[in-house]
Chains A and B, each alone.
Chain A
Amino acid sequence: GESVGLHLPTLSVQEGDNSIINCAYSNSASDYFIWYKQESGKGPQFIIDIRSNMDKRQGQRVTVLLNKTVKHLSLQIAATQPGDSAVYFCAENGNYGGSQGNLIFGKGTKLSVKP
């Protein structure tokens, strides 16, 4: 869902369940996408990335899916653990003027894992 004011969208899951975090991106020209995890008091930590010539990429317990038709990105976390509790941000590169320097972040989703 969309965040309103100071409220982050929150996903609450039971430990051991699978989590799916969704993100809608804005720029059709974006050709690179990243998911970051940000724990309280820390900077964003890279999880997984995907380029626009792919529609799926898997890492360790994580999978990113890209649907360019509807400009949608998702992060799937298998067997969610308490240590996965954090805010998750998607980001796109925007690809403005050929510069790869700009990362445009989505609003973020807070994942809470119940033991």
Chain B
Amino acid sequence: DTEVTQTPKHLVMGMTNKKSLKCEQHMGHRAMYWYKQKAKKPPELMFVYSYEKLSINESVPSRFSPECPNSSLLNLHLHALQPEDSALYLCASTKNLRTAQPQHFGDGTRLSIL
């Protein structure tokens, strides 16, 4: 079991649907991350939040909309996705951005776009 919980584990959606991915951690971490991982590839950073504020956006298309409503929760809102957006979406957290430290990952949401 990981200390970062992601829901749902699997999601199938059409290109016109709106859905959200959720991530939760109760370690008191104040930095949270979204990654996208395609099969047989490394995770690619999408967004970084620090103290509930967006710190890094790696030029992600606007059909992905992150939200950090409080220090424990991170959402990724999805709208009008494309088939190439099918991937494993990983959430991670660290205590902060000030010092280099391991990121704690959830087990991801497997997203399939029809």
Q: Check A99/B103 contact, CB under 8 A, given A6-B40, A43-B90, A44-B43.
A: no
Closest Cβ of chain B: how far from A10's Cβ, in Å? Answer: 11
Are A43 and B50 in contact (CB-based, < 8 A)? no
Are A108 and B100 in contact (CB-based, < 8 A)? no
Closest Cβ of chain B: how far from A60's Cβ, in Å? Answer: 16
The number of inter-chain residue pairs (CB within 8 angstroms) is 68
A31-B105 Cα distance, complex, nearest whole Å: 21
Partner of B102, one of A7, A46, A89, A95: A46
The interface size bin for chain A is 20 to 34
Are A44 and B98 in contact (CB-based, < 8 A)? no
Say yes or no: is A61 at the interface (Cβ < 8 Å to chain B): no
Q: Which residues of A sit under 8 angstroms from B4, Cβ to Cβ?
A: 43
Q: Which residues of A sit under 8 angstroms from B56, Cβ to Cβ?
A: 99, 101-102
B residues whose Cβ falls under 8 Å from a Cβ of A: 2, 4, 6, 31, 33, 39-45, 48, 50, 55-56, 90, 92, 94, 97-108
